[in-house]
Amino acid sequence: VSHQKVVHFQRSQVCAAPIWCLATISVHSFCAGTDSGAVFFLDFIENQVNVIKTVNIGFGCRVLSLVSDGSVLAAGSLDAVHLIDVDSASIRHSLQLPRVEKRKPTVVWCVVFIERTLASGDSRGCVCFWNCANGALVQTVQTHQADVLSLCVAGDALYAAGVDPSIARLNHNKQRTLWRVEHRRVLHKNDVRALVASRTALFSGGAEHHFIGSTKNKHHSALKLTPCKTAVDADLFMYEYLGRIVIWRTALAEAVASSKGRFALKKEPEKLVEIRLPHGEHVFSSAITDDGHFIAIAKLNSVVVYSLDDLTTWKVKSVRVIETLPVRASSLVFCSHTLVIASDGFALHTVCLSDRSASVAQRRILQEGAGEVVRLHANHSASKVVALTTRNNLYIADLSMESLRKLDVHVKSVLMDAQFMNDTTLFILCADNERTLLEYSLLENSLSEKAISKETLSMAADELVMDMEARPEGTIVVGSKGTLRVIDARQRKRMMLLVAGATEAVPGVQRPDRCLAARWLPGRSLMVCASRVLSEPSLGAFRAKRYGQN
């Protein structure tokens, strides 16, 4: 289903039983496997989901995996894989799998088509290859010591992963008569639940709460960076987590430094407010005003605006909901007391806030086919915003003129962020070693020729750029090995700071749970923060009962 044609998300009741898996059949049709043993053929036309056909593979046979090549649908269940003809909605073959133990069924967790052959991964730790024409078993390869949870096709090779935390690569022998395990890689310490391959890399997601991208010669763990927003005029900062928002007051330092040039803390950071969303709801974006009077939280179907009464003083703290706006937002930013909401692909809404109420969200700017906004920042005079979309494009929106301008940025690398350094200059952060930091002139509407590379920033070859904070005081570039680069635009100086000790970051080592965030505070003070809580991996044994069989 084309994302551009879907204006709103639709919820459709297909059946009363839980749905375990989905698979695409054609452009407008797909199928769903249920807990009751039924496979539903559905289509999506004019924003409506319709049930076309239903196929029952047997009572009590949960459909746990699905895959289709357009003409044949393979459904993995308990002790069997069923081949279903898409046109006639009839079962062609039922491929039976043996049991290791008499009372323990063989669970087919994943199925995939490769070179006109069906491959299935099951709870025995085996990958089976089947002939789809006659339903014959071609070969069984023991790839793991426990359940195979995911299969992935990359060219003519097949990757398998599961509870055994190794990833196996399978390919043909020289005669192309048999499949064999070419090599293994152990990148995770726990279950590998998902695999996906691109043209250049293999991505795997495990129970350690992060994923890893790997190539033939090396691999990189995904680095976690908790979003941090600051209310500069109120000495507040806010952390954005998956299901909650936490607001802190910044620390106070002594006015006089010690003999070693260090400033002792007069008052440590104080946790003021924690806003938790109801169970099952997630934070998609958040924003806080510079004076700390208002915050906004974007949920799945709405944006909630809060008034932080007395939060900027040392009195009793209170939080009050001003308005709940029925807008599906992807990014939020405050321009003074005006909330700018990006939603519905590329639509910018503005909401004016007061102490008691919020105005109705007005759609000011709309751009068809621009993609969804993933980064949204305001300039320091609160008159313009810069938006980065999923299509790697940058747009400048003038809120007073209600105009939109696409920036002429021709770069081959992925854009990570874009922020105003001042009202006439943008800094653009790129995932590129040679052109890491770009300067864009809004007056000339062109990129500056002076691009800053990783080598100029004194970054190691394997160090990654994580974050950026652009202000008139200077621009901060955060590296993945506990280092910061501060670029002073006025004095044309660049400084590198090595952060360790208080943040428990290990200099020179990339840690998925120790990524830094740096923000400017008043008086050219710098606040550096890092997560102190490790992700807790799933330590329990993998059992089907954890996934609904009880």
Q: What is the DSSP string of 164-189?
A: SSEEEEEEE-TTSSSEEEEEEEE--S
Cα-based distances in Å from 94 to 130, 140, 151, 475, 529: 11, 17, 21, 62, 57
| 212 shares its domain with 89 | yes
Same domain, 214 and 351: no
Number of domains in the chain: 2
Question: Which stretches does DSSP call E strand in 157-251?
Answer: 157-162, 166-172, 179-186, 192-197, 202-206, 211-214, 219-221, 228-231, 236-240, 244-249
Strand, helix or coil at 12?
coil
CA distances from 409 to 181, 439, 442 (A): 45, 10, 12
Which tokens sit at 103? 């009372």
The DSSP call for residue 357 is -
Q: Are 221 and 201 in contact (CB under 8 A)?
A: no
| Tokens matching residue 429 | 């952060």
Q: Is the dihedral of CA 338, 341, 342, 348 positive or negative?
A: negative
Q: Is residue 104 a part of any domain in this protein?
A: yes
- Beta-bridged to residue 130, according to DSSP, are 118, 137
Q: Which two tokens stand for residue 324?
A: 């709940």
- 205, 535 in Cβ contact below 8 A? no
Same domain, 123 and 155: yes
CATH number at residue 330: 2.130.10.10
Report if residue 319 sits inside a domain: yes
Q: Are residues 239 and 346 in the same domain?
A: yes
My answer on whether 187 and 313 are in the same domain is: no
Taking the C-alpha atoms of residue 30 and residue 364, their distance in angstroms, rounded to an integer, is 36
> What's the whole-model pTM score?
0.74
Same-domain status, 249 and 390 = yes
**In this structure, are 147 and 215 located in the same domain?**
yes
- Asked if 238 and 292 touch (Cβ cutoff 8 Å), the reply is no
Output the pLDDT for position 181: 92
Between the CA of residue 494 and those of 67, 151, 327, 421, what are the distances in Å?
53, 47, 42, 15
Q: Distance between CA atoms of 436 and 455, rounded to whole angstroms?
A: 9
CA distance 51 to 43: 7
Do residue 129 and residue 233 come from a single domain? Answer: no
pLDDT at residue 164 in the model: 86
Last residue of a domain, one of 221, 243, 273: 221
Residue 215 CB burial class (10 angstroms; 0-12, 13-18, ≥19): exposed
The token duo for 411 is 């770069």
Chain centre to alpha carbon of residue 109: 24
In terms of residue numbers, what domain contains 280?
228-406
- DSSP for 21-58 reads EEEE-SSSEEEEEETTSEEEEEEEETTEEEEEEEEE--
520 within domain boundaries: no
Residue 453 belongs to a domain: no
Instruction: Give the model's pLDDT for residue 7.
Output: 45
Q: Give one word for 75, left, alpha or beta, with left for phi > 0 and alpha for psi -120 to 50.
A: beta
Same domain flag for 253 and 118 = no
CB atoms within 10 A of CB 76: 27
Phi, psi dihedrals of residue 382, rounded to the nearest 5°: 60, 35
Residue 431 lies in a domain: no
238/286 same-domain check = yes
Q: How many angstroms separate the CA atoms of 522 and 330, rounded? A: 29
Low-confidence ranges of the chain (pLDDT < 70): 1-10, 209, 310-317, 356-358, 360-361, 363, 489-514, 531-550
Asked whether the beta carbons of 330 and 390 are under 8 A apart, the reply is no
Q: Torsion over CA of 28, 372, 438 and 380, rounded to 10 degrees?
A: 180
Which amino acid appears at position 41 of this protein?
F
> What digits encode the pLDDT tens for the residues 453-484?
877 777 777 777 888 888 877 788 887 777 77
The whole-angstrom separation of Cα 122 and Cα 106 is: 6
Query: In this structure, is residue 518 part of a structural domain?
Result: no
Q: Which of 406, 435, 465 is the last residue of a domain?
A: 406
Going by DSSP bridges, is the β-strand pair 270-276/244-249 parallel, antiparallel, or unpaired?
Answer: antiparallel
Residue 425 lies inside a defined structural domain of this protein: no
User: Taking the C-alpha atoms of 515, 521, 525 and 530 in order, what is their torsion angle to the nearest 10 degrees?
Assistant: -20
| DSSP letter string, 436-477 | -EEEEETTTTEE-S-PBPTTTTT--TT--EEEEEEETTEEEE
* Geometric angle at alpha carbon 457, from 410 and 231, rounded to 5°: 80
Strand-pair partners of 362: 350
Dihedral of the alpha carbons of 9, 11, 17, 19, in degrees to the nearest 10: -10
Q: What backbone phi and psi angles, to 5 degrees, belong to 5?
A: -85, -10
Same domain, 194 and 244: no
Q: Quick one: DSSP state of residue 300?
A: S
Beta strand residue intervals within 309-414, DSSP E:
320-325, 329-335, 338-343, 347-352, 362-366, 373-378, 384-389, 394-398, 403-406
Task: Tell me, yes or no, whether 456 lies in a domain.
Answer: no
Measure Cα distances from 260 to 4, 127, 235, 257, 498 in Å. Answer: 59, 63, 26, 8, 17
Task: Give yes or no for a contact between 222 and 512, defined as CB atoms under 8 angstroms apart.
Answer: yes
Q: Tell me which of 385, 406, 427 is where a domain ends.
A: 406
CA distance 330 to 342: 6
Clarify whether residues 169 and 246 are in a common domain. Answer: no
